[in-house]
């Protein structure tokens, strides 16, 4: 992975990078690039609000409960509205679905509305009030060809392996967009001086082994045995003879971003409070699993590949463990041992 600007200090913006990628597909209309500009514009607006959260009336709860039964934070509502608005202006999007909306929004029926975007506008938003990292996750699907002329909200119930692109924006010490359309995973840092996402981490590849595991250990007694023994095995040095340390921020995007760059493993196993897992399959686990796999890692739920799970509902939850090659080899060894 190259993390330096190009030798002659030429910057490559996200738009330029995608234009170069689009040239691999002769005859492309540019509609996909226009769709992506809706994500970059909306997340720049969100970033500007996050950066001043303590100075504007966006901290704290919005006074409503979302479809997940969670108290909506004011910034959840703001971020959701911004993404719905700017993505809704993209002719090529037929359906939008958000963690904050109970049902998907079927926007258009025209054939040109061939894309579906599913997103979590502000993952980990409870971190906002304590100035800890938060993120936006998004997954881009194509309208299934075998459906008649009508968009239907079930069009989006596709396994994660059908994603045509996915990414997240991490509002951390800097704001960074991490994205893949299947040709490598690339990181773009928002340069506030020019208002552009600039290529800063080209072709992110996960290290073969890291040194951290990332899990909420408060739930460890309720983990299924395989997961509990896995974490204990990491601590005891049973994975590659390395005794792992722990890092956990409580915002999946931030915990996964560290793992993508430094290696290791992130897991949210089934717990008593969330027996089916806490993460949402369509707009949290799937985009992350897509990125992790394209960066050389693996993402699973039990003994199943996350990207093979066939969703039954838009807000379906799942457990997830995702990590680098050695961490996931060790996990599959624990699975096989029925530990």
- The residues of the shown chain that bind ligand P6P, judged by CB under 6 A, are 123-124, 216, 250-252, 268, 278-279
Choice between 134 and 156, CB closer to ligand P6P: 134
**Min. distance of Cβ 247 from ligand P6P in angstroms?**
12
**Min. distance of Cβ 93 from ligand P6P in angstroms?**
25
Choice between 69 and 338, CB closer to ligand P6P: 69
Token output for 27: 């005859």
Choice between 94 and 121, CB closer to ligand P6P: 121
Choice between 263 and 269, CB closer to ligand P6P: 269
Choice between 76 and 327, CB closer to ligand P6P: 76
Alpha carbon of 85 to those of 140, 258, 263, 265: distances in Å?
Answer: 17, 30, 36, 35
Q: Which residues contact 72 (CB under 8 A, 6 or more apart)?
A: 61, 62, 63, 64, 65, 66, 100
Token output for 228: 């509990």
CA dihedral in degrees (95, 101, 102, 106; nearest 10)?
A: -20
Helix axis angle for 74-88 and 31-51, nearest 10°, is: 160
**Min. distance of Cβ 195 from ligand P6P in angstroms?**
27
Of 129, 42, 53, give the one whose Cα is nearest residue 89. Answer: 42
**Min. distance of Cβ 25 from ligand P6P in angstroms?**
33
Query: Residue 245's beta-bridge partner residues?
Result: 212
**Min. distance of Cβ 22 from ligand P6P in angstroms?**
32
CA distance 179 to 166: 6
């Amino acid at each position: 992975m190259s993390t330096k600007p190009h030798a002659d200090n030429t910057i490559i913006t996200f738009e330029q990078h995608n234009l170069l990628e689009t040239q691999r597909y002769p005859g492309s209309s540019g509609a996909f690039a226009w769709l992506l500009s809706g994500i970059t514009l909306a997340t720049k607006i969100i970033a500007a609000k996050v950066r001043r959260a303590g100075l504007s009336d966006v901290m704290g709860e919005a006074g409503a409960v979302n479809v997940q039964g969670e108290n909506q934070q004011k910034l959840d509502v703001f971020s959701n509205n911004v993404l719905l608005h700017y993505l809704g202006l993209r002719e090529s999007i037929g359906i939008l679905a958000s963690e904050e909306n109970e049902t998907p929004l079927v926007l258009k029926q025209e054939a040109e509305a061939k894309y579906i975007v599913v997103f979590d506008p502000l993952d980990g938003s409870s971190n906002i009030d304590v100035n800890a990292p938060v993120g936006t996750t998004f997954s881009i699907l194509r309208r299934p060809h075998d459906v008649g002329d009508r968009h239907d909200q079930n069009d989006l119930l596709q396994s994660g392996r059908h994603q045509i692109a996915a990414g997240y924006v991490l509002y951390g010490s800097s704001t960074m967009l991490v994205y893949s359309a299947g040709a490598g995973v690339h990181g773009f840092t928002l340069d506030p001086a020019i208002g552009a996402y600039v290529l800063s981490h080209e072709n992110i590849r996960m290290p073969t082994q890291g040194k951290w595991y990332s899990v909420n250990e408060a739930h460890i007694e309720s983990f299924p045995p395989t997961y509990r023994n896995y974490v204990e095995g990491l601590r005891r040095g049973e994975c590659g003879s390395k005794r792992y340390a722990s890092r956990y921020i409580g915002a999946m995007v931030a915990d996964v971003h560290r793992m993508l760059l430094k290696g290791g493993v992130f897991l949210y196993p089934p717990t008593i409070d969330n027996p089916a897992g806490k993460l949402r399959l369509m707009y949290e686990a799937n985009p992350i699993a897509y990125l992790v796999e394209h960066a050389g890692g693996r993402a699973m739920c039990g003994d199943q590949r996350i990207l093979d799970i066939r969703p039954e509902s838009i807000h379906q939850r799942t457990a997830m463990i995702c990590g680098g090659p050695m961490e996931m080899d060790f996990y599959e060894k624990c699975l096989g041992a029925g530990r």
